Structure 1
Amino acid sequence: MLNEKLLAILSHPNDGAISMVTTGDSGAHLVNTWNNYIEVTADDKLLIPASGYNKTEKNLTKHNAITLSIASREIEGYRGKGTGFIVEGTTRFIKSGPDFDRVKERFSWIRAVLEVTVTSAKQML
Protein backbone atom coordinates (compact mmCIF):
# COMPACT_ATOMS: atom_id res chain seq x y z
CA MET A 1 0.00 0.00 0.00
CA LEU A 2 1.23 3.51 -0.82
CA ASN A 3 2.18 5.86 2.00
CA GLU A 4 -0.59 8.22 3.18
CA LYS A 5 1.63 11.29 2.69
CA LEU A 6 2.52 10.25 -0.85
CA LEU A 7 -1.18 9.86 -1.64
CA ALA A 8 -1.80 13.31 -0.15
CA ILE A 9 0.79 14.84 -2.49
CA LEU A 10 -0.73 13.13 -5.52
CA SER A 11 -4.24 14.28 -4.64
CA HIS A 12 -3.37 17.84 -3.54
CA PRO A 13 -5.21 20.45 -5.62
CA ASN A 14 -2.15 22.73 -5.96
CA ASP A 15 -0.12 21.53 -8.91
CA GLY A 16 3.33 20.24 -8.12
CA ALA A 17 5.88 19.06 -10.66
CA ILE A 18 6.77 15.39 -10.77
CA SER A 19 10.11 14.42 -12.30
CA MET A 20 10.58 11.02 -13.95
CA VAL A 21 13.96 9.53 -14.83
CA THR A 22 14.64 6.63 -17.21
CA THR A 23 17.91 5.26 -18.51
CA GLY A 24 18.77 4.64 -22.14
CA ASP A 25 21.79 4.19 -24.39
CA SER A 26 22.69 7.88 -24.01
CA GLY A 27 22.32 7.89 -20.21
CA ALA A 28 19.64 9.37 -17.99
CA HIS A 29 16.56 11.00 -19.51
CA LEU A 30 14.26 13.31 -17.51
CA VAL A 31 10.64 14.28 -18.15
CA ASN A 32 8.02 15.97 -15.99
CA THR A 33 4.30 15.92 -15.31
CA TRP A 34 1.91 17.39 -12.73
CA ASN A 35 0.89 15.66 -9.49
CA ASN A 36 -2.83 15.96 -10.13
CA TYR A 37 -2.48 14.28 -13.55
CA ILE A 38 -1.54 11.01 -11.85
CA GLU A 39 -4.28 8.54 -11.02
CA VAL A 40 -3.71 5.90 -8.34
CA THR A 41 -5.46 2.58 -9.02
CA ALA A 42 -7.04 0.31 -6.41
CA ASP A 43 -3.93 -1.89 -6.57
CA ASP A 44 -1.59 1.11 -6.03
CA LYS A 45 -0.35 1.52 -9.59
CA LEU A 46 0.25 5.03 -10.90
CA LEU A 47 -1.39 5.94 -14.21
CA ILE A 48 0.31 8.86 -15.96
CA PRO A 49 -1.11 10.44 -19.13
CA ALA A 50 1.46 10.44 -21.94
CA SER A 51 1.37 12.73 -24.95
CA GLY A 52 5.02 12.78 -25.99
CA TYR A 53 7.34 10.66 -23.84
CA ASN A 54 8.73 9.05 -27.00
CA LYS A 55 12.30 8.81 -25.67
CA THR A 56 10.93 7.70 -22.30
CA GLU A 57 9.01 4.88 -24.00
CA LYS A 58 12.08 3.89 -26.05
CA ASN A 59 14.20 3.75 -22.89
CA LEU A 60 11.57 1.72 -21.04
CA THR A 61 11.37 -0.92 -23.79
CA LYS A 62 15.01 -1.79 -22.99
CA HIS A 63 15.00 -1.22 -19.22
CA ASN A 64 11.53 -0.83 -17.71
CA ALA A 65 12.64 0.73 -14.41
CA ILE A 66 11.71 4.33 -13.61
CA THR A 67 12.52 6.71 -10.76
CA LEU A 68 10.14 9.52 -9.81
CA SER A 69 10.68 12.52 -7.56
CA ILE A 70 7.34 13.53 -6.05
CA ALA A 71 7.15 16.47 -3.62
CA SER A 72 4.90 19.18 -2.21
CA ARG A 73 5.51 22.20 -0.02
CA GLU A 74 1.90 21.89 1.19
CA ILE A 75 2.07 18.48 2.91
CA GLU A 76 3.57 18.05 6.38
CA GLY A 77 7.01 16.43 6.34
CA TYR A 78 9.48 15.30 8.97
CA ARG A 79 10.33 18.82 10.18
CA GLY A 80 7.34 20.93 9.21
CA LYS A 81 5.52 21.77 6.02
CA GLY A 82 6.97 20.23 2.89
CA THR A 83 7.72 16.63 2.05
CA GLY A 84 8.95 14.57 -0.86
CA PHE A 85 9.46 11.00 -2.01
CA ILE A 86 11.74 9.08 -4.30
CA VAL A 87 9.55 6.44 -5.93
CA GLU A 88 10.92 3.53 -7.94
CA GLY A 89 8.94 1.15 -10.07
CA THR A 90 8.51 -0.93 -13.17
CA THR A 91 6.50 0.26 -16.13
CA ARG A 92 4.47 -0.43 -19.21
CA PHE A 93 2.70 1.78 -21.74
CA ILE A 94 -1.03 1.16 -22.12
CA LYS A 95 -2.57 2.12 -25.46
CA SER A 96 -6.03 0.57 -25.17
CA GLY A 97 -8.41 -0.89 -22.62
CA PRO A 98 -10.34 0.41 -19.61
CA ASP A 99 -7.43 2.23 -17.90
CA PHE A 100 -6.49 3.96 -21.15
CA ASP A 101 -10.12 4.92 -21.85
CA ARG A 102 -10.62 6.34 -18.35
CA VAL A 103 -7.46 8.47 -18.50
CA LYS A 104 -8.21 9.54 -22.09
CA GLU A 105 -11.60 10.79 -20.91
CA ARG A 106 -9.83 13.25 -18.57
CA PHE A 107 -6.98 14.09 -20.95
CA SER A 108 -8.11 13.98 -24.58
CA TRP A 109 -4.57 14.77 -25.80
CA ILE A 110 -2.92 11.51 -24.66
CA ARG A 111 -1.50 8.83 -26.96
CA ALA A 112 -0.85 6.34 -24.14
CA VAL A 113 -0.86 5.85 -20.39
CA LEU A 114 2.38 5.18 -18.54
CA GLU A 115 1.59 2.64 -15.83
CA VAL A 116 4.03 2.50 -12.91
CA THR A 117 4.03 -0.45 -10.54
CA VAL A 118 5.65 0.98 -7.42
CA THR A 119 8.44 -1.17 -5.97
CA SER A 120 9.63 1.35 -3.37
CA ALA A 121 8.62 4.78 -2.07
CA LYS A 122 11.02 6.47 0.33
CA GLN A 123 10.12 9.70 2.11
CA MET A 124 13.05 12.13 1.87
CA LEU A 125 11.84 15.29 3.62
Structure 2
Amino acid sequence: MLNEKLLEILSHPADGEVAIVTKGTDGAHVVNTWNSYVNITLDGRMLIPVGGMNKTEKNVEENQLVKLTIGNREVQGLNYKGAGFLITGIARFIKDGPDFNLIKAKFPWARAVLEITIKTAVQTL
Protein backbone atom coordinates (compact mmCIF):
# COMPACT_ATOMS: atom_id res chain seq x y z
CA MET A 1 0.00 0.00 0.00
CA LEU A 2 1.25 3.46 -0.88
CA ASN A 3 1.75 6.16 1.70
CA GLU A 4 -1.47 8.15 2.26
CA LYS A 5 0.36 11.49 1.99
CA LEU A 6 1.80 10.49 -1.40
CA LEU A 7 -1.68 9.53 -2.60
CA GLU A 8 -2.98 12.89 -1.34
CA ILE A 9 -0.31 14.72 -3.36
CA LEU A 10 -1.15 12.74 -6.49
CA SER A 11 -4.90 13.30 -6.16
CA HIS A 12 -4.86 16.98 -5.13
CA PRO A 13 -6.73 19.24 -7.59
CA ALA A 14 -3.84 21.72 -7.66
CA ASP A 15 -1.48 19.96 -10.04
CA GLY A 16 2.18 19.56 -9.20
CA GLU A 17 5.27 18.57 -11.11
CA VAL A 18 6.96 15.16 -11.23
CA ALA A 19 10.65 14.87 -12.11
CA ILE A 20 11.83 11.50 -13.41
CA VAL A 21 15.58 10.81 -13.31
CA THR A 22 17.32 8.05 -15.26
CA LYS A 23 21.00 7.32 -15.73
CA GLY A 24 22.59 6.87 -19.13
CA THR A 25 26.14 6.53 -20.38
CA ASP A 26 26.41 10.33 -20.36
CA GLY A 27 25.09 10.73 -16.80
CA ALA A 28 21.77 11.71 -15.29
CA HIS A 29 18.81 12.63 -17.47
CA VAL A 30 15.66 14.35 -16.16
CA VAL A 31 12.19 14.63 -17.69
CA ASN A 32 9.06 16.14 -16.20
CA THR A 33 5.38 15.33 -16.14
CA TRP A 34 2.35 16.32 -14.04
CA ASN A 35 0.94 14.73 -10.88
CA SER A 36 -2.45 14.41 -12.56
CA TYR A 37 -0.93 12.17 -15.24
CA VAL A 38 0.23 9.57 -12.68
CA ASN A 39 -2.14 6.62 -12.30
CA ILE A 40 -1.75 4.21 -9.40
CA THR A 41 -2.73 0.58 -9.92
CA LEU A 42 -4.39 -1.57 -7.26
CA ASP A 43 -1.04 -3.29 -6.68
CA GLY A 44 0.75 0.06 -6.18
CA ARG A 45 2.53 0.51 -9.51
CA MET A 46 2.71 3.94 -11.12
CA LEU A 47 1.55 4.22 -14.73
CA ILE A 48 2.60 7.41 -16.52
CA PRO A 49 1.63 8.30 -20.10
CA VAL A 50 4.57 8.79 -22.44
CA GLY A 51 4.51 11.29 -25.28
CA GLY A 52 8.24 11.82 -25.86
CA MET A 53 10.69 10.52 -23.25
CA ASN A 54 12.90 8.98 -25.95
CA LYS A 55 16.13 9.45 -23.97
CA THR A 56 14.40 8.17 -20.84
CA GLU A 57 13.31 5.03 -22.69
CA LYS A 58 16.82 4.45 -24.02
CA ASN A 59 18.28 4.85 -20.52
CA VAL A 60 15.71 2.44 -19.00
CA GLU A 61 16.72 -0.19 -21.58
CA GLU A 62 20.22 -0.06 -20.06
CA ASN A 63 19.36 0.63 -16.40
CA GLN A 64 15.84 0.18 -15.02
CA LEU A 65 16.52 2.05 -11.76
CA VAL A 66 14.75 5.43 -11.67
CA LYS A 67 14.27 8.19 -9.14
CA LEU A 68 11.33 10.57 -9.00
CA THR A 69 10.49 13.64 -7.02
CA ILE A 70 6.81 14.38 -6.56
CA GLY A 71 5.43 17.36 -4.71
CA ASN A 72 2.55 19.73 -4.22
CA ARG A 73 2.75 23.02 -2.37
CA GLU A 74 -0.95 22.89 -1.37
CA VAL A 75 -0.67 19.66 0.65
CA GLN A 76 0.37 19.82 4.31
CA GLY A 77 3.97 18.63 4.63
CA LEU A 78 6.14 17.55 7.53
CA ASN A 79 6.40 21.03 9.06
CA TYR A 80 4.44 23.40 6.84
CA LYS A 81 2.24 23.57 3.79
CA GLY A 82 3.99 21.89 0.88
CA ALA A 83 4.74 18.17 0.72
CA GLY A 84 7.13 16.14 -1.41
CA PHE A 85 8.59 12.66 -1.85
CA LEU A 86 11.72 11.07 -3.25
CA ILE A 87 10.83 7.75 -4.87
CA THR A 88 13.13 5.04 -6.15
CA GLY A 89 11.80 2.31 -8.36
CA ILE A 90 12.17 -0.06 -11.25
CA ALA A 91 10.91 1.21 -14.61
CA ARG A 92 9.82 -0.32 -17.88
CA PHE A 93 8.03 0.95 -20.96
CA ILE A 94 4.76 -0.72 -21.96
CA LYS A 95 3.45 -0.44 -25.52
CA ASP A 96 0.53 -2.86 -25.50
CA GLY A 97 -1.79 -4.77 -23.18
CA PRO A 98 -4.34 -3.77 -20.54
CA ASP A 99 -2.23 -1.13 -18.75
CA PHE A 100 -1.36 0.52 -22.07
CA ASN A 101 -5.02 0.45 -23.16
CA LEU A 102 -6.12 2.02 -19.86
CA ILE A 103 -3.68 4.92 -20.19
CA LYS A 104 -4.26 5.36 -23.94
CA ALA A 105 -8.01 5.76 -23.26
CA LYS A 106 -7.27 8.61 -20.80
CA PHE A 107 -4.42 10.17 -22.77
CA PRO A 108 -4.92 9.57 -26.52
CA TRP A 109 -1.55 11.17 -27.28
CA ALA A 110 0.37 8.51 -25.30
CA ARG A 111 2.73 6.40 -27.42
CA ALA A 112 3.65 4.21 -24.42
CA VAL A 113 3.31 3.89 -20.66
CA LEU A 114 6.13 4.30 -18.18
CA GLU A 115 5.47 1.73 -15.46
CA ILE A 116 7.29 2.23 -12.17
CA THR A 117 7.36 -0.37 -9.43
CA ILE A 118 8.09 1.60 -6.28
CA LYS A 119 10.90 0.30 -4.07
CA THR A 120 11.11 3.24 -1.63
CA ALA A 121 9.09 6.40 -1.08
CA VAL A 122 10.55 8.84 1.44
CA GLN A 123 8.77 12.05 2.39
CA THR A 124 11.26 14.93 2.08
CA LEU A 125 8.99 17.92 2.68
TM-score by length of 1: 0.98
Unaligned runs of 5+ in 1: none
Alignment match, 1:17 = 17
Measured in 1, the distance between the counterparts of 2:32 and 2:4 equals 22
Alignment match, 2:106 = 106
Q: CA RMSD in A?
A: 0.6
Measured in 1, the distance between the counterparts of 2:79 and 2:25 equals 39
Moved over 6 A (4+): none
The Cα offsets for residues 60-80 of structure 1, whole Å up to 9 and x where unpaired, read as 000001000001111111112
Alignment match, 1:123 = 123
Measured in 2, the distance between the counterparts of 1:79 and 1:15 equals 21
The letter of the residue matching 1:107 is F
- Output aligned runs, 1:71-110, within 5 Å: 71-110=71-110
Measured in 2, the distance between the counterparts of 1:92 and 1:60 equals 7
The Cα offsets for residues 60-110 of structure 1, whole Å up to 9 and x where unpaired, read as 000001000001111111112111000000011110011100100110001
The Cα offsets for residues 8-67 of structure 1, whole Å up to 9 and x where unpaired, read as 111111111100100001100000000000000000000000011110000000000100
Alignment match, 2:3 = 3
Instruction: Quote the sequence identity (%).
Output: 54
Measured in 2, the distance between the counterparts of 1:64 and 1:50 equals 16
